[in-house]
Amino acid sequence: MRVPGENFNSILALIKPQFAGMKPAVFLDRDGTLIAEKNYLCRPEDVEVFPGTGAALKRLQDAGFMLFMVSNQSGVGRGYFTLADVDRVNEHLGRELACDGVRFEKIYIAPEAPDQPSRGRKPSPQFLFDARDEFGLNLAESFMVGDKLIDLECGWNAGVKKSILVRTGYGADVEQLETEKLRHAVIVDGLASAADWIIKNHS
Ligand SMILES: [Mg+2]
């Protein structure tokens, strides 16, 4: 006997893969991962892009990954600078990387201080879920790269394939301090090695 909804469910099962989205992405922290960590960086002229960042991102893009930047900017919530300052820094960075043919699909910023309620502040996976829903991503085939434990936790909370710690920025210190928590992480010297690892290990 057919139950109500059975037909609908069998149709849904057929089209589900398209709905689930098959596109892989790489989510990238900004400070200490793409550019030098400068403690509450807020001026475009202070942006110091790590050598090879553009080339590494371009390789990921050419391998079929959509690129997203996910950044906590608590300096806004703390009153040190404004969201407009953050935008100016990101626009500058975007222009620098565009010289290498790199383009971020979207930039996600959490401007709140750690003690303020926030929808997306890492380690929350919310922005990765937002990106999945908006761009039809397959998070299980996606990657998160960052220099802090919260970056990796954000990836784990979203169910990405792998969270990767870079030793740039705070990464080297985190590697020393958080051995136990990093047992499921991949740890590499910097973004170029992260890109190598992802390209070699994605399916
Ligand atoms: Mg960072």
- Average pLDDT estimate for 178-185: 96
Residues with Cβ within 8 Å of residue 67, at least 6 apart in sequence: 25, 26, 28, 57, 60, 61, 102, 103, 104, 105
Ranges of each domain in the chain:
20-201
Q: Of residues 29, 85, 147, 151, which has the active-site annotation? A: 29
pLDDT over 90 for what percent of the chain?
A: 88
pLDDT in tens, 111-169: 999 999 999 999 999 999 999 999 999 999 999 999 999 999 999 999 999 999 999 99
- Average pLDDT estimate for 52-68: 98
The single residue listed with the structure tokens 């935008």 is: 87
14 CA from centroid of ligand 1 (Å): 41
Sign of CA dihedral 107, 103, 50, 186: positive
pLDDT in tens, 149-161: 999 999 999 999 9
160 CA from centroid of ligand 1 (Å): 18
pLDDT in tens, 16-28: 445 455 899 999 9
76 CA from centroid of ligand 1 (Å): 16
pLDDT of residue 203: 79
C-beta neighbour count of 53 within 10 angstroms? 23
- Average pLDDT estimate for 81-86: 98
108 CA from centroid of ligand 1 (Å): 14
133 is catalytic: no
134 CA from centroid of ligand 1 (Å): 24
62 is catalytic: no
pLDDT of residue 93: 98
Take residue 171 and report the two structure tokens written for it: 């990464």
CATH of 20-201, one of 3.40.50.1000, 3.65.10.10, 3.90.600.10, 1.10.10.2160: 3.40.50.1000
- pLDDT of residue 3 exceeding 60: no
Q: Of residues 31, 85, 147, 151, which has the active-site annotation? A: 31
- Pair 140, 161: CB distance under 8 Å: yes
Model pTM score: 0.90
